[in-house]
A and B are shown apart, each in its own frame.
Chain A
Amino acid sequence: MNCTYACQSAEHVVARRRFLGLAGAGALAGVGALASPLGAFVRPAAAAELQSKQKRILMVYLAGGLSQLESWDPKPGTDTGGPFRAIPTSVPGIHISELLPQTARQMHRLTIVRGVNINENDHGRGSYIMHTGRVPDPSNEYPHLGSVAARCLSLENDPLPGYIHITPGGGGGLSSGDAAFLGPRYASVVLGGGQPPQNTVRPDAVSEAADQSRQAIRRRVNDHFARRRRTAETEAYTQTYDQAAELMKRRELFDVTKEPAADGRPRVRPNQGTPGLSTAVGCVKRTTRLRL
């Protein structure tokens, strides 16, 4: 899917592509926000290879998003259709809201699914259905789309999380519930407000050798405990340390200063708040809302 960004800069398009190709992100979900340029980190050759083979999913989940009547499924001239008109698009026969004139010109690149009906009044349950394709069932938890994509699309030995979830607020972490029976390996890593995770740098006071030594003891203690008490909890907890180690190795991925400055503009534009991922997210989010 090609999005038309408001600024049309190569930076937005290219860097995001590289991120999607290289981060091992099987899926990237944003709630009320969109993924963003993450920086020209490493391995352009690998990027090319991945781009040619790998499919990625970008899921933009607008909780409380815009109405379908003012976007993809206008019903002009009806009681509930609202005041806006429908306009033709680049695909004959498909009309969308007049509020999306730019998108209308790109319609041949898009697919609208108008037949979705969750038959559900409760927002929480509806959201679960949209993320899992399943009606909530307390005796069986099902993985979210992103976790399924992480399981099926991310590379076999890719150390990085296969599912990155950018939330608009603070917080952040790993939502082990997302992955259900697929296990915490495929759970989303949450970047609250698009910020990189904290504590990704090993302090100078801890040498690499010391770290390896203490991690080896930790693993041994865990094995001892799990001999007769291995549960989902023990597995989830111990796996987070493996994931932390891998995230640390690739932390430059989250460093906005390593983004390309292809068109000569400053990497972080001054009027867009704190540097970091959120800067870019904020920019793209605005674009998302007005000119999807």
Chain B
Amino acid sequence: MIGRHLHIDVLALRRRPAACRRFVAMSLIRLAGTFCLIATLSSSVSANTESLHARIDQLVAARMPTEAAPPATDSEFVRRVYLDLTGCIPSTADARAFIDSSDSGKRTALIERLLASPQYARRMQVFFDLVWMERRPEKNVPNAEWTEYLRASFAAGKPYDQLVREILSADGTDPTLRPAMKFYLDRDGDRNLVTRDIGRLFLGRDLQCAQCHDHPLIDDYKQEHYYGLLAFWNRSSIFTDKANQKYIAEKADGEVSFKSVFLDEQPRSTPPRLPDSPMPEEPKFNAGEEYVVAPADGVRPVPKYSRRAKLAPELTSAERRDFRRNIVNRLWALMFGRGLVDPVDLHHAANPPSHPELLDLLADEFAGASFDVRWLLRELALTAAYQRASDHPSIDPNQLPPESYCVALLKPLSPEQLGWSVLEASGVSAAYRAGVEGELAADTKFAQLLDADEKRQRQRLEISERRFYERLAPSLGEFVNLFGGPPGSPAQGFQATVHQALFFDNGGTIRSWLVPSGQNLLARAAALPDSSAQVEEIYLTVLTRRPDVEERTLAVDALNARPAAERPAALEELAWALLASAEFRLNH
């Protein structure tokens, strides 16, 4: 993987006037922002009584170099929030109902409804699987068990810190938490990989360079940090019992020592210790008394003192603001298309957040709200910053610094979002949903749940969603292969490839989804009485908006110019073109 650093090379800036100008311009903008901030803070000392989303907007506004874009249209908003909170565009009916509703509280109500839906838990499952496993190939823990564990955790509103504690402390002895071992087991327990990924994914610090020496360019990343982290795992390994069941075992001995490859120095040793934590006291036992279960052939040893067991509670403790900052920054990036600290795994003093006070506010409020991911996402979705338009009436968005949040940033759809959205738009999803609903209605046991209490209704929704998901998820494979990044490395920025275009142009998948059948998009459109209604149905379904006057006229004229026999083909051309457009490819 290409190493990254955020070191401002003054000499390089001197050599490159353009970069220098940009740097100076940015500094001035930041400076201006600071003055505004002071003004804002002094005028709103009692801000604490306000909702979090209102305070977020104040802090964002305080650093805006210019006027913000107006709020997004209802069409833009409904598409955006569906994609962000459920991972898919809305159905035609949902989009139409929302856009046509005159209820002034409809945005807030929609956010609530989506966060309560089974699709929200699914979206979080997909997102956190990507963050933590990075599309690594399936190894020791079946993907199905792991994803169900994640989905159920988010459906139940499990606090984020508890989820992390489970993942970092599961050892296989609690059968309900076996899937949580995936983080360790599917990395084959490789101590350097585990160390690097704990630093990167839970503390937002990519300490890889510090494996061999202090980071040459980031003063904050020391070799002792790397090995302090490694020492938690160093005595542990994967243990396989006679039934071929995997566990994590630990020895009572094994010290960690290290020295810089650059320096001729004596090796140093370190106990398990998180960056900047005090030196821990470790219990000592007499020789022969270190184990609860002593090591022996075919026996999983259990030490009296487990270094690994200390990791989860220490990492998630109230002292670790970096643990909180890492996750709120990642969730911010999920919603806003860019982290307050960017890249998300390079938190350090020389790469400060664009809005330091905002990052700390989010981190502390999130902890204060019991690490409730759903609550935080609701607050983010409720901000004016999130609900802004992605175009600006007077300024080219390219001229605005991305971290100004004056306009909504364009976010490329993830492979999963893209795949589910094509399935939704073409009408394949609706057919599968109808199939599942039909089965459930025919099943007397589930039919009873229809009118039952809220909890059982919810259960029914989850069962229905799960069947639907399991049947259609395999269709996403091609999208993940073509649009996803390489396994085992962080999700890259936008990667547009000729292979993706060829897949849309010539691949059989999308063409087969567009063949008119049942109530799918092209069958529905063909049944409509006039060209204008047909054009509207296709635009609304694929792009979640109605065509503007110009677009409608052009498309209607083009349709009317074709003989009746060519109408179905012409409708397909329109639907395909919208699916293949940049507007569809991006969340805007």
Contact = CB atoms under 8 A, between A and B. Distances in A.
Interface string A242-262: 011101100000000000000
B498 A140 contact: no
Greatest chain A CB density within 10 A among B209, B507, B585 is at: B585
Interface stretch (A26-34, A89-97, A201-209): A201-209
Given A176-B497, A197-B499, A247-B498, A228 B391 contact: yes
B539 to A, nearest CB: 9
Contacts of A229: 390-391, 397, 410, 588
A221 B496 contact: no
A177 interface: yes
Given A138-B4, A218-B580, A222-B583, A176 B412 contact: no
Greatest chain B CB density within 10 A among A136, A190, A200, A240 is at: A240
Nearest to A213: B573
A174 B499 contact: yes
B578 interface: yes
Contact of A175 (B4, B392, B412, B495): B495
A36 B511 CA distance: 35
Contact of A225 (B481, B502, B582): B582
B37 to A, nearest CB: 24
A197 B586 contact: no
Interface stretch (B6-14, B282-290, B352-360): B6-14
B152 interface: no
B482 interface: yes
A215 B582 contact: no
Greatest chain B CB density within 10 A among A125, A224, A231 is at: A231
B577 A214 contact: yes
A37 interface: no
B9 A125 contact: no
A218 B577 contact: yes
A233 to B, nearest CB: 5
B6 A138 contact: yes
B511 A173 contact: no
B506 to A, nearest CB: 4
Main secondary structure of the interface of A (DSSP, over half): helix
Given A200-B506, A233-B412, A234-B586, A174 B496 contact: yes
Contacts of B16: 140
Contact of A199 (B486, B507, B580): B507
B551 interface: yes
A122 interface: yes
B448 to A, nearest CB: 46
Contact of A202 (B397, B481, B500, B505): B505
B213 A121 contact: yes
B76 to A, nearest CB: 11
Nearest to B343: A138
Nearest to A227: B391
Interface string B182-194: 0000000000000
B363 to A, nearest CB: 23
Contacts of B482: 173
A233 B506 contact: no
A217 B573 contact: yes
Nearest to A201: B506
Nearest to B22: A139
A36 B558 CA distance: 47
Contact of B410 (A124, A174, A189, A231): A231
B263 interface: no
B563 interface: no
Contact of B498 (A173, A228, A238): A173
Interface in B472-504: 481-482, 486, 492-504
B97 interface: no
B508 interface: yes
A228 to B, nearest CB: 4
A252 to B, nearest CB: 16
Contacts of A199: 499, 502-503, 505-507
A84 interface: no
B582 A234 contact: yes
A74 interface: no
A239 interface: yes
Contacts of A224: 548, 551, 583
Contact of B505 (A125, A230, A241): A241
B496 A184 contact: yes
Greatest chain A CB density within 10 A among B3, B502, B576 is at: B502
Contact of B497 (A137, A174, A222): A174
B19 interface: yes
11 contacts: A121-B213, A135-B9, A136-B5, A140-B12, A197-B502, A198-B499, A199-B499, A199-B502, A225-B581, A231-B397, A241-B580
Interface of A: 121-122, 124-125, 127-128, 135-140, 161, 171-177, 184, 189-190, 197-203, 205-206, 210-211, 213-215, 217-218, 220-222, 224-226, 228-234, 236-241, 243-245, 247-248
Query: Which 5 pairs show the lowest CB-CB distances between chains A and B?
Result: A173-B497, A217-B577, A174-B497, A244-B501, A228-B391
Interface of B: 1-9, 12, 16, 19, 22-23, 208-209, 212-213, 216, 261, 343, 390-392, 397-398, 410, 412, 481-482, 486, 492-508, 511, 548, 551, 554-555, 558, 569-570, 572-574, 576-578, 580-583, 585-586, 588
